[in-house]
Chains A and B, each alone.
Chain A
Amino acid sequence: MRRSAFDGVKIADFSWILAGPTVSTYLAAHGATVVRVESRTELDNTRIDAPHKDGVPGVNRSGFFGYINPNKYSLTLNLNSSGGMEVARKLIAWSDVVNENFSPGRMEKWGLGYEDLKKIRPDIIMVRSSIQGQTGPWTRRRGFGILAAGQAGFSEITGWPDGEPCTSYIGYCDFIAPRFCIAALAAALAHRKRTGEGVCIDTGQIEPGLYFLAPAVLDYTVNGTLLKRQGNYSPCSAPHGVYRCQGDDRWCAISVSSDDEWKAFCGVLGNQKWTEEPRFATFLERKHNEDELNRLVEAWTSVHTAEDVMRMMQDKDVAAGVVKNMRDLVEDPQLNERNHIWWLKHPEMGHFPHMGSTVVMSKTPAEPRMPAPCLGEHTEYVCRKLLGMRKAEFKSYNEAGAFE
């Protein structure tokens, strides 16, 4: 009986770092059998990155790698050896999908480009993520998601009018591009089920990233307007912002977008005198006096905790929310109740949260099955059990150095 939607879908996963593995993580959450092909000599950077268990680095001690890779097997292969390449090709023959995010050209060098893969399996689905895309004058131009956020235009518009560009502390584009890739992959799997045809999906980071900026793109192509950094301003709401609360670096977001909401907001503040002044009575007036409005709001929020501000506002149907940090998210009642975060026990790192599923499916729920893999943890399992290799064959590949 099928439990998850992608039960039985097999993925040969050559990807590494963040954007590529995010694609396979999403599918693994929904039941796909994902085999990560890793290399001991060219380690996935995230196996080296902090945070480390007990502050001690080690290839199986990174909370970065661990967090983003539940439900996956790990097979180490030396793709530069003939034995390793033979096993890789067996893995591809076994798989439905090949996932990769190397610099464009690398797979082709190994004889594993799309045309090559089709010779192994004519209906293969190949999923390729890169910064710039597989074609074009910049295709070989390397980069990472946090830099791509600059190139796509996120950094320039984020921050304060009197400040410098900002982005998030992690590769923002690494979270957008894979989503579009996954939508196409799910559609491709459905299409292949219907027609028997495979496809190659080429996702850069700038091209889908611009979809999360599309109104600003059109504002430029239509009106010649360049969106400028504007702090937490919104053209539709006032008050609208992130307000300091009690405690160290604690904040609550509040947005008031209608006259009813404004009335309710004022009620929460105990209808203080200033809330009744004509210069705040209408939306236009509040916009005109927004700086002063924000100062007055913050004078109130700063004597309350962010949680209290959120609760008091939401009780009166005013949109407000704690600006959550990692600790808040770990403890988030909504994410935990709905099993979006998966707490799994890892052989070297013990119990820790893993990236779970985002969407909740009624008939085919996403399910945690395994913690993130240790390096090469499943080399023998994959070869013997998934690929059906005989004991002697596995031994000879091993002795030939295929599994480094």
Chain B
Amino acid sequence: MVQDGLLAPLRVLDLTDEWGYLCGRVLGDMGADVIKIEKPGGDPGRRLGPFYQNHSDPQKSLYWFAYNANKRGITLNIETAGGKDLLQELAKTADAVVESFPAGYMDRIGLGYEYLCRTRPAIIYTAITPFGQSGPYSSLKGSDIVVSSMSGLVYACGDPDKAPVRIPIPQSYLFAGIDGAIGTAIAYYHREVTREGQYVDVSAQAGMYWTAGPLTHWTLRKKALKREGQFRGGLSPISRQRHIWRCKDGHVAFQVYGGGTGAKNNSRLTQWMDEKGMASDFLRSMNWEKFSLPATDQELMDNIEEPIGRFFLSYTKAELEAEAMKRDIILLTVSDMKDVLASPQLKARDYWIKVEHPELDCSITYPGPWAKLSSHGWKMRFRAPLIGEHNEDIYGKELGLSRKEMVTLKESGVI
């Protein structure tokens, strides 16, 4: 039996730009009917690359494809009188509106939460901005590198002897988007209990600041954790631990732990190294049961890590991974996308989905279920919409506009 998703009854009007696409995507993945509304000519977010076969075409942006699947798409110019009317009309049957305009914009043009409440009192209104609707930063200009920096994530990444570095895919847009989905779903739950909608104020900076880690490092010990490149500080006040190691053909992710985890893990690795004649006397003499990270200074740490580093260098990623799995040693590879696509785990979990793109005469492999649900599961229903692809379905079939009316609206730039 084909079941609808957890959010099947929910209808969402999605007025976001690249800062908020992921919100509607996640809601759509859970079965919501998400209508992506773009201005005539298409969202500016369609300019974001990479692109299908590197053609900089607004209908071929892979960023757009990734984050607007499971949405239908219409065009609408909400700054025109006709456009405002149509949005109000659409709001009558909508459960939620999601937008990522600058703070105050929707109110200024008469389509903000209070206005839409008159049409639909129980509406859920989710507004996504770089810093939130209020507060001293609310009118600041955001960009991904700026918000990622102001949330603490950038300071946490990179080599200590170089500038802090951002992850080259816009993480701030994605934290904002996922928090938008969460806030909308929370408001939906509340409405199921009380029949009451509300306004959800999502800030990308607030969504991301947890990634800086426990701020108690500063308040308790006056220590601001710093990027350590292939190492990590913060677990011990007097040493750092390597977690990215060179191997024959790339890198692996492994760390020397303390506590119960370390006791088993470190013994098993030492055992393996010993079988290959590569465990130093020092390593073999370590009492892993008693080993404690907070009590371990850098010299001891280096003595432990040096032979491990030499050991890993003599094997490939695949060799280390395979043997680590056999011996139940915690070790993962530092993967590129080729490795990720080759993962037997992802294949076994039916993670990869082939999505038809008839307009490109091909199908494209997409990431699939971000969670597996026992019922009412995640579903890829359709690819991201072309510009105005569902104008006929929504304006014509659902709102009952005639062909003539739609032509007039198109010619006057309303749709």
Contact = CB atoms under 8 A, between A and B. Distances in A.
A184 B371 contact: yes
Interface string A57-91: 10000011011100000000000000000000000
A240 interface: yes
Contact of A147 (B219, B220, B255): B255
B311 interface: no
A231 to B, nearest CB: 6
Contacts of A66: 214, 216
A253 B244 contact: no
B182 A186 contact: yes
Contacts of B345: 132-133, 136-139, 141, 206
B205 interface: yes
A323 interface: yes
A225 to B, nearest CB: 7
A153 B336 contact: yes
Interface stretch (A214-222, A378-386, A387-395): A214-222
A329 B227 contact: no
B200 A210 contact: no
| Most chain B CB neighbours (cut-off 10 Å) among A30, A148, A257, A324 | A324
A271 interface: no
Contact of B218 (A234, A322, A330): A330
Interface stretch (B72-80, B103-111, B277-285, B346-354): B346-354
B212 interface: yes
B145 A186 contact: no
B320 interface: no
Interface stretch (A156-164, A278-286, A396-404): A156-164
Contact of A186 (B166, B185, B325): B185
B213 interface: yes
Given A199-B6, A352-B216, A253 B372 contact: no
Interface in A172-197: 172, 175-176, 179-184, 186-191, 193-194, 197
B130 to A, nearest CB: 9
B120 interface: no
Given A156-B335, A359-B186, A363-B198, A242 B53 contact: no
Contacts of B255: 144, 146-147
Interface in A320-374: 320-330, 332-335, 337-338, 340-341, 349, 352-353, 355, 358-364
B397 to A, nearest CB: 27
B22 interface: yes
Contact of A358 (B144, B149, B203): B203
Nearest to B351: A207
B93 to A, nearest CB: 18
Contacts of B193: 2, 193
Given A223-B50, A338-B134, 15 more contacts: A6-B189, A51-B216, A51-B223, A64-B216, A147-B331, A170-B212, A179-B182, A191-B6, A193-B189, A230-B168, A242-B164, A251-B155, A325-B152, A325-B225, A362-B200
